[in-house]
Amino acid sequence: MNSEEKKKFEELQKEVEELRENNRRLIEGSEQLMARNLMLSEKLEIYYEVRRHVEWLKDLVRRNRELMAQADLRNDEELLAMIEVKLESGEVKLTPEYGIAEVAELVGTTQTRIADLYRTKSIFHSVDKYLDFLRLMHALQMLKENPYYNIEAIASESGFNSVRTLQRKIQESIGLTPGQYRDLTNNS
């Protein structure tokens, strides 16, 4: 090979090396683009999932507003009667945490309306007093009908925080301890 051919050969080898280097960079660039596109695709999926949840929540809020508007159109006596029917039916478990927020949600109105309603139209004057009354009636019924249940089970089942609370409520309302009431009702 003469020197000119050798020089041309070296130039071609250099060009081949440059092309290989360019090809390697293109492959790396396309891998980076693919990774970026995959990441963007995942973000897009998350975005659409969030949008679906937002739309679902908006619909839920809209339906809740409609229910509240309908409930607010009822007169006070109808609303009180509806609350009594729903709470006294036994379908609702009166846990210790059950309060005005749950009652308002149950009938689809605001807590403010419920509080005003009980303050002005009910003999109980508050939702909490009414709920305590229902818990107490349930406990007295259980004491009468289930003579072998222990007081802890009755307190828990009736929705009282503790045995002491149940004992205090019964003592305040009828002047007897739960045991005395049980004895009195089971001996009659």
The 8-class DSSP code of residue 45 comes to: H
Q: Does the pLDDT of residue 127 top 90, yes or no?
A: yes
Could you count the other beta carbons within 10 Å of the beta carbon of residue 114? 24
Structure tokens at 25: 């960079």
| pTM of the predicted protein model | 0.60
- In a 3-state reduction of DSSP, which class is residue 183? helix
What is the reported pLDDT for 26? 84
Spatial distance between the Cα atoms of 152 and 166, rounded to a whole number of angstroms: 9
Structure tokens at 119: 């303050």
pLDDT, tens digit, for every residue of 94-104? 899 999 999 99
- In a 3-state reduction of DSSP, which class is residue 109? coil
User: To the nearest whole number, what is the mean pLDDT of the chain?
Assistant: 87
Q: Identify residue 45 by its one-letter amino acid code.
A: E
Structure tokens at 182: 């049980």
Could you count the other beta carbons within 10 Å of the beta carbon of residue 43? 10
Spatial distance between the Cα atoms of 108 and 64, rounded to a whole number of angstroms: 7
pLDDT, tens digit, for every residue of 28-85? 888 888 888 888 888 888 888 888 888 998 888 888 777 666 655 568 888 898 899 8
Spatial distance between the Cα atoms of 164 and 136, rounded to a whole number of angstroms: 13
Structure tokens at 151: 């007081």
Q: What is the mean pLDDT of residues 15-38?
A: 86
Spatial distance between the Cα atoms of 85 and 89, rounded to a whole number of angstroms: 6
Could you count the other beta carbons within 10 Å of the beta carbon of residue 120? 9
Percent pLDDT > 90 in the chain is 36
**Dihedral, 163, 166, 168, 172 alpha carbons, nearest 10:** -160
Spatial distance between the Cα atoms of 138 and 82, rounded to a whole number of angstroms: 19
Kindly report the backbone phi and psi dihedral angles of residue 108, in degrees, each rounded to the nearest multiple of 5, phi listed first. 75, 45
